[in-house]
Structure 1
Amino acid sequence: MVFKFIKSQLIEVIEWTDDSTDTIVYRFPVKGNEIKMGAQLTVRESQTAVFVNEGQIADIFGPGRYKLSTENMPVLTKLKAWKYGFNSPFKAEVYFVNTKQFTNQKWGTSNPIMMRDPEFGMVRFRAFGIFSFKVEEPAVFLKEIFGTNRVFDTESIVSHLKRSLVSGIADLISESKIPVLDLAMHYNELGEAATEALQPRFSQLGLKLVSLFIENISLPEEVEKVLDKRTSMGVIGNMQQYTQYQTAEAIRDAAQNQGGGLAGAGVGLGAGVGIGQVMSQAFNQNMQSTPQPQGNEVTKVPCPKCGADNLPQAKFCSQCGTSMDIQKTKCIHCSVPIEKEAKFCPQCGKPQKLNCGNCGIELNPGAKFCPECGTKI
């Protein structure tokens, strides 16, 4: 007993080496919370020490070594406190606050969130990601959150922070009015905007929201299936041709059925009729989509160089080999499209060459001033 009493009256050396990854606040254990006069306090980097003397925050210490001043004199104060059962009324505590970043804190929506999409109408979505935070105001954090707890870790507050994050992010996404299909390209922008918008909520608790990342925003499974079908339809292209192809494939497979007897003969006969109908429809549609000449006459196209008649689909003249693609230009007077080599416009009849009204020199099309005398055209 005497040895324990003497040991408890020695001046303390107060320090904390964090051996965990999630402890935010640690109260240094001193018997009876009676820190002695002259106690040595060592605060390390990424730590802040909050010194509470007689129930009030007396000081906040950053990294370094300090000497504490209290009313508890070794041995003497203990002996004078006989009327309190040798329990000193001068209480003092030191709380170590971990000021490092607490990273990889996961958040996510527990229930789907409704939003109005300009393309799909009302849709539900889920979102999840990670965030990191740190203690920025130890005194505010002590008063608002951890109080006089001996140990306070991330698990004690992260659930509250997650709910605050989810409500803010859901509100931000809904107000952004970004279409559902375009949300993926705005993850970084939404994360930065959410970090700035939610910072006041963290500041009220003495915390700082360092970063927030959106990893994914997903739609319900049934909506994703519909989107997959729409994507498939876009890849297919012409649905009518695809349907005809699928029908022909199915009829061919039925015709190749190895079943014997009348049933097999009936299937083969039906397959033949079906194939004939499909091919007939496809042929008729192609004929309707392709322009046909009237009667038995085929309109000939003259060669732009030698004047020989050629078929409409000919790309080169059958006589001289000149390209049948007649290059066009515009009349310099009325802007009607004409052949590039035309000397007169078939619409207004005016020549396609300009001469300067002052000196008579021939001008290039589009010239605004004469290159010889400088007269304005």
Structure 2
Amino acid sequence: MGLFSNQFSNVVEWEEFRDDMLFWKWDNKEIKKGSRLVVRMGQDAIFMYNGKIEGIFKDEGSFDMESEIIPFLSTLKGFRFGFNSGIRAEVLFVNTKELTVKWGTKNAINIPSPGLPGGMPIKSFGTFCCKISDYEVLIDKIAGIKKQFTIEDVKSRIMSMLDQVIMKWIVKEGKDIFNLQVNAFEISKGIQEDLDMEMEKIGIAITNFTISSVSYPKEIQEMATKAASHSMIGDMNKYNQVAMADSLSKGSSGGSMASDMAGMQVGMMMGQQMVENMNKKPQNNETQESSSGEKKPNFCPNCGAKNEGSNFCPNCGAKLA
């Protein structure tokens, strides 16, 4: 009867494929006579027998198992000579695409900081990308005991070590903990290297890691906002003057209300300035002016006696005008 038994043919394919899955194992059916292998775009099919890789098929398409697949498998090709029943081999379908995952710290990470005994608590968010890089390691460490492996499985492994790795690279780089977003690129590269080194142990590569945002406690955020506001006060008067002048220059009917309001503000500012000028008292070192327009000093330059507006000093008789 040849390689396969005379049973109904079946299709070896990735059933119920999902984009968030890294691999799925076809292992609970018998490969029968007339079976076909279906490999779709973005997939590789790995044939395994007794836990060992027999062959890897990367081309997409539909293939006849007996004539196009079995002859190219290292051990199973011998089955065509004398086996009358089907083959109970395993086929591991691998997602070859690079997957992007969002991450975020569930709890605040306390970053050591001088003057802060408990450290500075921060939260961070971003994304990382991963893909399967080593099939043999993957099968030895993961696929040998699991039927499928999803991106959530990868994420759980990443999150279990991420807090310590983030803390390590922030402290190692000696960055200002109040301005981490500026240095996020350098910190991200270090984190990616460490995570990639760890995930290589199960045959998965971390191809990219980014920090999108860093958030501080509410009190720190409010202080930063207030400091930014204070830094603008020096230019606020100039800004108001320019804004009002610009509004007045747009004297169109459509902007009449804005012009009127700007005019009222200018009038109020001018009135306030006039009041301030009127309330100013003459200083002691100012001179007095007579009805004839002549200026007389308040004190005699000869003896220093106070002058009450006369042309001669009442003390020494010196001429003052």
- Common fold by TM > 0.5: yes
Pick closer, same or farther for the CA change 1:153–1:75 going to 2, 3 Å: farther
* Structure 1 residue 54: Cα displacement: 2.7
Q: Secondary structure at the match of 1:228?
A: helix
Mapped pair 1:77 → 2:75: no
Aligned to 2:50: 54
Aligned to 1:14: 12
CA distance in 1, matches of 2:300, 2:178: 54
CA distance in 2, matches of 1:168, 1:37: 52
Matching residue's letter, 2:69? K
Pick closer, same or farther for the CA change 1:200–1:167 going to 2, 3 Å: same
CA distance in 1, matches of 2:19, 2:203: 20
CA distance in 2, matches of 1:61, 1:108: 37
Aligned to 1:25: 23
* Cα deviations by residue, 1:160-202 (Å, 9 ceiling, x for unpaired): 1222333312211122221133222222232233223322112
CA distance in 2, matches of 1:119, 1:216: 24
Aligned to 1:247: none
Aligned to 2:166: 169
* Structure 1 residue 25: Cα displacement: 1.3
* Cα deviations by residue, 1:292-342 (Å, 9 ceiling, x for unpaired): 9xx9699xxxxxxxxxxxxxxxxxxxxxxxxxxxxxxxxxxxxxxxxxxxx
Matching residue's letter, 1:101? E
Matching residue's letter, 2:204? L
| Residue 214 (structure 1) aligned to one of 211, 216, 222 | 211
* Structure 1 residue 55: Cα displacement: 3.2
Mapped pair 1:227 → 2:224: yes
Q: Secondary structure at the match of 1:178?
A: coil
Map 1:216-255 onto structure 2 (within 5 A): 216-236=213-233
Mapped pair 1:187 → 2:184: yes
Q: Is the 8 A contact 2:47 2:53 kept in 1?
A: yes
Pick closer, same or farther for the CA change 1:229–1:139 going to 2, 3 Å: same
Pick closer, same or farther for the CA change 1:76–1:136 going to 2, 3 Å: closer
Aligned to 1:94: 91
Aligned to 1:371: none
Q: Is the 8 A contact 1:35 1:72 kept in 2?
A: no
* Structure 1 residue 216: Cα displacement: 0.7
Matching residue's letter, 1:14? V
Pick closer, same or farther for the CA change 1:7–1:39 going to 2, 3 Å: closer
Matching residue's letter, 1:221? K
Mapped pair 1:67 → 2:65: no
Identical residues among aligned pairs (%) = 27
Aligned to 1:340: none
* Structure 1 residue 113: Cα displacement: 1.4
Q: Secondary structure at the match of 1:67?
A: helix
Gaps of 5+ in 2: 235-275, 287-297, 302-321
Q: Secondary structure at the match of 2:107?
A: coil
* Structure 1 residue 73: Cα displacement: 5.8
* Structure 1 residue 42: Cα displacement: 4.4
Map 1:1-377 onto structure 2 (within 5 A): 6-8=6-8, 10=9, 13-16=11-14, 19-28=17-26, 31=29, 34-35=30-31, 40-63=36-59, 66-68=68-70, 69=73, 70=76, 77-78=84-85, 91-103=88-100, 105-117=101-113, 122-236=119-233
* Structure 1 residue 37: Cα displacement: 8.1
Q: Is the 8 A contact 1:39 1:67 kept in 2?
A: no
Q: Secondary structure at the match of 2:175?
A: coil
Gaps of 5+ in 1: 79-87, 238-278, 299-377
CA distance in 1, matches of 2:300, 2:187: 67
Return the TM-score normalized by structure 1.
0.51
CA distance in 2, matches of 1:170, 1:192: 14
* Cα deviations by residue, 1:49-78 (Å, 9 ceiling, x for unpaired): 221113322233322554125365699534
Matching residue's letter, 1:182? N
* Structure 1 residue 126: Cα displacement: 1.0
* Structure 1 residue 132: Cα displacement: 1.3
CA distance in 2, matches of 1:19, 1:49: 13
* Structure 1 residue 95: Cα displacement: 0.7
Larger RCO of the pair (alpha carbons < 8 Å, separation 6+): 2
Aligned to 1:373: none
Q: Is the 8 A contact 1:108 1:166 kept in 2?
A: no
* Structure 1 residue 206: Cα displacement: 0.5
CA distance in 2, matches of 1:224, 1:151: 43
Number of equivalenced pairs: 230
Pick closer, same or farther for the CA change 1:200–1:171 going to 2, 3 Å: same
Higher CA-based Rg:
1
CA distance in 2, matches of 1:63, 1:297: 110
Return the TM-score normalized by structure 2.
0.59
